[in-house]
Amino acid sequence: MVNQSYTDGFILVGIFSRSQTDLVLFSVVMVVFTVALCGNVLLIFLICMDPQLHTPMYFFLSQLSLMDLMLVCNIVPKMAANFLSGRKSISFVGCGIQIGLFVSLVGSEGLLLGLMAYDRYVAISHPLHYPILMNQKVCLQITGSSWAFGIMDGVIQMVAAMSLPYCGSRNVDHFFCEVPALLKLACVDTSLFDTLLFACCVFMLLLPFSIIVASYACILGTVLRMRSAQTWKKALATCSSHLTAVTVFYGAAMFIYLRPRRYRAPSHDKVVSIFYTVLTPMLNPLIYSLRNGEVMGALRKGLDHCRIGSQH
């Protein structure tokens, strides 16, 4: 039975049964997935096409949308195919790829959200020096380091998880291949790997989170020194979208990965995983577009061009 998973792969237990309630919930998840897909593609398109959106903040936002797009496409299509076909299998290689992509994208997104807080700090606390401090080279370094650290974390976890021997049950109690769920099937002591995994999660979550806390502490200090109420409101409006995105992403991720093992339950993990695999990628473009006049202006401009083009 040892390493039968190499040839047969794994069985993803999933989150939905065939009950009427679960069919409705599955439909809701598919609607959210469609909105996430369309919202992120539209946001990337608007940022690329509108010269007014060629600023550091929107460049970071386009990268965030790309990560969200890849994240939902890595998880939801396979989950939907398994649910609709009734076959719940995933190959050993497919499971490895899903782990690598998932960890890389979540890690990269967490780091980028952290470094975007620094961008907001520079914009509010040093507005006159903003174009110099956040030049193209710095922007590329910020996004490049986010991708690089995320991919490195993903490769380490994928190689480590896939090199373990698996035996007995092949049932992964999740709707996608996630390392903690997979470790339960290993037929060796995984305590060392658990420690490594926890250390990786602490670094990839608490490092950017500490950048966010430090940046917003500095922003708060700057805002409190502002005399104009209008400037104060504008500064808070600039940060509100980012803070909302950070709260949703980090709240779910910390609940999953930084809880003691004895408090973990597969049912809780699966529900919370829906938040940052499907819900967060849908919310990010909505948060940043509906609460942002520049993005809505670019959208209206694009719609006007389409209307004029269709009339001719």
Residue 264: per-residue pLDDT: 67
Using CA atoms in the order 202, 265, 10, 15, what is the torsion angle rounded to 10 degrees?
Answer: -110
Highest mean pLDDT (candidates 62-71, 121-130, 296-305): 62-71
Query: If phi over 0 gives left and psi between -120 and 50 gives alpha, with beta otherwise, what is residue 168?
Result: left
> pLDDT, tens digit, for every residue of 180-224?
888 888 888 888 888 888 888 888 888 888 888 898 888 888 887
**pLDDT exceeds cutoff 70 at 7:** no
Q: Are 146 and 165 in contact (CB under 8 A)?
A: no
pLDDT mean over 12-26: 84
Q: How far apart are CA 283 and CA 33, in angstroms?
A: 11
Paired strand residues for 186: 166
Give the pLDDT score at 70: 95
235, 216 Cβ separation under 8 angstroms: no
Provide the β-strand partners of residue 121: none
What integer is the mean pLDDT of 38-53? 89
What's the rounded mean pLDDT across residues 73-94? Answer: 90
Spatial separation of the C-alpha atoms in residues 228 and 224, rounded to whole Å: 10
CB atoms within 10 A of CB 307: 9
User: What pLDDT score was predicted for residue 209?
Assistant: 86
First to last CA, the chain: 68
Q: How confident is the model at residue 4 (pLDDT cuts 50, 70, 90)?
A: low
Strands 10-12 and 171-172: parallel
SS (H, E, C) 84-102: HHCCCEECHHHHHHHHHHH
Q: Which of 307, 302, 241 is nearest to 41 (CA)?
A: 302
Average pLDDT, the chain: 84
pLDDT of residue 65: 93
- Among 85-99, 190-204, 221-235, the range scoring the smallest mean pLDDT is 221-235
Is the model's pLDDT at 289 over the cut of 80? Answer: no
Residue 6 above 60 pLDDT? Answer: no
Q: How many angstroms separate the CA atoms of 11 and 4, rounded?
A: 12
Neighbour order of strands in the sheet with 171-172? 89-90, 10-12, 171-172
CA distance 112 to 106: 10
Q: What is the DSSP string of 100-159?
A: HHHHHHHHHHHHHHHHHHHHHHHHHH-GGGHHHHT-HHHHHHHHHHHHHHHHHHHHHHHH
At residue 1, the pLDDT reads 46
Across the range 92-116, mean pLDDT stands at 92
Determine contact, residues 29/78, Cβ cutoff 8 Å. no
pLDDT in the model for residue 308:
66
Higher pLDDT, 289 or 263: 289
pTM equals 0.88
Answer yes or no: are the C-beta atoms of 238 and 123 closer than 8 Å: yes
Which residue pairs, CB below 8 angstroms and at least 24 apart, start in 192-198?
193/160, 193/161, 193/164, 194/261, 196/160, 197/157, 198/257
Query: Rounded to whole angstroms, how far apart are CA atoms 110 and 123?
Result: 20
How much is the pLDDT for 217?
Answer: 87
What single-letter amino acid sits at 2?
Answer: V
Is residue 303 pLDDT above 90, yes or no? no
pLDDT reported for residue 260: 67
Tokens 């401090």 locate to: 133
pLDDT of residue 204: 80
For 250-275, what is each residue's pLDDT tens digit?
Answer: 887 777 777 766 666 666 777 778 87
